Amino acid sequence: MKDLSRTELAALLRRMPKAELHMHVEGSLEPELIFRLAERNGVALPYASVEALRAAYAFTDLQSFLDIYYAGASVLLKEADFFELAWAYFERAAADNVVHAEIFFDPQTHTARGVPIGDVIQGLAHACRRAHAELRIGAKLILCFLRHLPEEDALATLEAALPWREHFIGVGLDSSERGHPPEKFARVFARARELGLHVVAHAGEEGPPEYIASALDVLQVERIDHGVRCLEDPALVQRLAARRVPLTVCPLSNVKLCVYPTLAQHRLPELLAAGLCVTVNSDDPAYFGGYVNQNFVELFEALPQLGVAQAKQLAANSFEAAFVDAATKAGWRQQLDEVFAAAAA
């Protein structure tokens, strides 16, 4: 491989095909759409303008973000709102050469405001179908439980979603991590597994490495969302590496929520070097400063030890970690090889 300039490397990062596996659709709600939906739905906002709202996006930790994130989501009321939200994300994902996206949604955030769960799922599923038909993106939904609420609420949410079972491929666990360990959700994850759903959970973002271990042991998750705090436990790192348990890492999110002071201090290079199946994702792109390509480009700019080999590895990992069949993965791998071969020529 010839040496690429940093500008050529950034172009390659943008151009390479990739899967996005950690993106909360409510976190892709841009301020402009918040204001448009607030007006359309007659929802009062405590901010005078798009600029005033954006100015409030200065977070000190996960909870300070979640407070604003749930307030933003309050404008989502109708099936059409959920369609528009997800469609706007898929258009941006297509521009970033995302070939496959498994996106999170938080039904409890909406059902608590009286929105029927079927309206949420149908609106999102409609956007997924259109993304596949018109943008050639494999678009799948993962239903997340809010971990600050009791497990009984999560169990009721899963049962309420079952009439739309065909529209989601898995369940996840998000919201306030500290004080809400994975084992709190043992029964609902067992039920999800029984239903043949994929299972993932946020762990080791703000919470300790023990939460990563209990997500694996108790919830039997197939991927860990974030997981960066595994580095505090070398035996856990070894375990994750040996089993190739994917970590869906979100660099810009980690800086915005003060998990790391700067991108230059992000420990993704160590995770990769340890042989972990690390992927790069945007988490809540409307709140954290950019979509998936922005995460790649800023991360590589901040960390000069990341080069072409790591770029290709991260894209390959995103395919390895996706919930799709081996033939589909092999097709993506071929596309990836072609893009890198062309860059080397």
Among candidates 236, 231, 311, 307, which has minimal Cα distance to 279? 311
Least gap, CB of 308 to ligand HPA (angstroms): 29
Binding status of residue 106 toward Zn ion by CB under 5 A: no
Binding status of residue 84 toward Zn ion by CB under 5 A: no
Residue with the two structure tokens 């809540």:
284
Binding to ligand HPA by CB under 6 A, coded x per residue (else -) over 159-178, reads ---------------xx---
Stretch of 48-56, 57-65, 105-113, 282-290 lying at the interface with Zn ion (CB under 5 A): 282-290
Least gap, CB of 15 to Zn ion (angstroms): 26
203 pairs with which residues across the strands? 226
Three-class SS of residue 260?
coil
CA distance 205 to 145: 16
In the structure encoding, which two tokens stand for residue 316, read together?
A: 């390959």
In the structure encoding, which two tokens stand for residue 189, read together?
A: 């994850």
> For the purposes of burial, counting CB atoms within 10 Å of the CB of 250, is it exposed (0-12), middle (13-18) or buried (19 or more)?
buried
From candidates 111, 253, 281, 295, binder to ligand HPA by CB under 6 A: 253
Nearer to Zn ion, 157 or 281 (CB): 281
Active-site residues, by number, are 205
Nearer to ligand HPA, 113 or 243 (CB): 113
Least gap, CB of 270 to ligand HPA (angstroms): 20
Nearer to ligand HPA, 110 or 312 (CB): 110
Between residue 1 and residue 40, which ones bind ligand HPA under the rule CB under 6 A? Answer: 24, 27
How many angstroms from the chain centroid is the CA of residue 229? 17
Nearer to ligand HPA, 203 or 213 (CB): 203
CA distance 262 to 267: 10
Between residue 271 and residue 330, which ones bind ligand HPA under the rule CB under 6 A? Answer: 283-284
Which three-class secondary structure string do you get for 287-301?
Answer: HHCCCHHHHHHHHHH
Write phi, then psi, for 7 (nearest 5 degrees). Answer: -70, -40
Choose from Zn ion, ligand HPA, none: what does 175 bind? Cβ within 5-8 Å by kind: ligand HPA
Least gap, CB of 127 to ligand HPA (angstroms): 19
Between residue 49 and residue 68, which ones bind ligand HPA under the rule CB under 6 A? Answer: 62
Least gap, CB of 60 to Zn ion (angstroms): 17
Which three-class secondary structure string do you get for 50-98?
Answer: HHHHHHCCCCCCHHHHHHHHHHHHCCCCCHHHHHHHHHHHHHHHHHCCE
Nearer to ligand HPA, 84 or 205 (CB): 205
> Where along the sequence are the contacts to ligand HPA (CB under 6 A)?
24, 27, 62, 69, 174-175, 202, 205, 253, 283-284
> Where along the sequence are the contacts to Zn ion (CB under 5 A)?
283
